[in-house]
Amino acid sequence: MTDSAALLPGTLDLLILKSVSLGKLHGYGVLLRIEQISGGALRIQQGALYPALYRLEHHGLIESEWGVSENNRRAKFYRLTSAGRARLGEEVASWNRLADAIALALRTKPQEV
């Protein structure tokens, strides 16, 4: 058993929104940021990142512009829009409610039933 875990379905969008909320990032940068902020615990199929980025951009939650990367190459940078920020807030709240509920359920002992 490895230390890293596969993403739950539907959580990639949330992680991308969180990553770009911390600063402007290119696609590869988003991947590294997710690894970084999850302590390397989350595994992402790298290619799957791009359809998710395009979907979020299509829905106006992030926006992109071409710029220059840290190694002086042309790269496309993403940043959060105000609609994306609002969505991130909703998603985080929803996730926390879900996580608390599951954690509560998993902490339950036989004598508490």
Per CB under 8 A, the list member of 6, 9, 39, 73 interacting with other proteins is: 73
The distance of closest approach from Cβ of residue 102 to other proteins in the complex, given in angstroms and rounded to an integer, is 29
Judged by beta carbon, residue 18 or residue 78, the one nearer other proteins is 78
Position 12 contacts other proteins (CB under 8 A): no
Residue 57 engages other proteins in binding (rule: CB under 8 A) = yes
Contacts of range 91-94, beta carbons closer than 8 Å, 24 or more positions apart: 91/13, 91/14, 91/17, 92/14, 92/18
